[in-house]
Structure 1
Amino acid sequence: MTRNIHSSPSVRHGDITRPEPGTGIKIHFKDAKGALVKTIEANEGDDLLSIAHEHDIDLEGACEGSVACSTCHVILTPEYYDLLPEPDDDENDMLDMAFALTDTSRLGCQVKLTRALDGMTATLPSATRNMFVDGKKSTH
């Protein structure tokens, strides 16, 4: 008996091609006191939470971008905030629980980058609220 074995080329998951320096969408991350944390370049379609994690910027994202918490809350400057689509109801519900909410607050997981956002600053709040993660209440 002959057995046929089929093979296909392996597929690599997680390969992300980053823009060449000077060609990407430049995003500045600042801390709550206004000090620059890091400036990065990203691709169109990336979201702030993912690129923050990729570049070791302290933006929590406890729900991993599923719009079930407010720990990736960022504060944008008004001129860039106005370029984004309005937050949907789920995002607004989570923003209502965000620490230090402002008129230009957004969830980083919901901010998808476009060329129009090149040069945007995202400021991290001084704290986050993570009420219920994995069904557990905070002990603080």
Structure 2
Amino acid sequence: MNVTFTLQDQTSRTVEAEPGWKLMEVAVDNAIPGIDGDCGGEAACATCHVYVAPEWRDATGERTDLEQAMLASTFGVRENSRLSCQIETSEELDGLSVEVVGS
């Protein structure tokens, strides 16, 4: 499957992802700038904050209570904000597009 990350400088990078990986892991594995994943995917740091493209919001699911609480403590939160460590890649998400918020 492929995922497109729009970076802070508005350039885009499309990378391949294995289904079953967390989106944050895909980003870190591909050195996507602005995705740090400092907590290792535990929804405890918000260093993997992304904006999910509108057409992918339903497919990526709802925020968990833990994710919502972490996002409440960070900047730039929008309706389409997600922690990429909480989005599991799957064939159904092939073509997913997210914008990197960065720190």
How far does residue 32 in structure 1 lie from its aligned partner after superposition? Answer: 2.6
Q: Percent identity?
A: 33
Distance 1:99 1:124 in 2: 13
Query: Could you report, residue by residue, the CA deviation over 1:35-78 in whole angstroms, capped at 9, with x for unpaired residues?
Result: 21x21111111111101111111211111111111111011111
Q: Which amino acid aligns with 1:69?
A: C
- Relative to its length, the structure with more helix (as a share) is 2
Equivalent runs, 1:128-139 vs 2, <5 Å: 128=103
Match of residue 89 from structure 1: 65
- Give the TM-score taking structure 2 as reference length: 0.90
Does the aligned pair in 2 maintain the 1:71–1:98 contact within 8 Å? no
Aligned: 1:66 with 2:28: no
Distance 2:9 2:72 in 1: 22
Distance 1:72 1:113 in 2: 15
Match of residue 10 from structure 2: 34
How far does residue 84 in structure 1 lie from its aligned partner after superposition? Answer: 2.0
Distance 1:119 1:85 in 2: 16
Does the aligned pair in 2 maintain the 1:47–1:111 contact within 8 Å? yes
Show structure 1 runs of 5+ residues with no match.
1-24, 129-140
Q: Which amino acid aligns with 1:94?
A: M
Moved >2 Å (runs of 4+): none
Distance 2:30 2:76 in 1: 24
Aligned: 1:50 with 2:50: no
CA RMSD of aligned residues (A): 1.3
Equivalent runs, 1:96-107 vs 2, <5 Å: 96-107=72-83
How far does residue 31 in structure 1 lie from its aligned partner after superposition? Answer: 1.1
Aligned: 1:110 with 2:86: yes
Distance 1:57 1:85 in 2: 23
- Give the TM-score taking structure 1 as reference length: 0.68
Question: Does the residue aligned with 2:59 lie in a helix, a strand or coil?
Answer: coil
Question: Does the residue aligned with 1:62 lie in a helix, a strand or coil?
Answer: coil
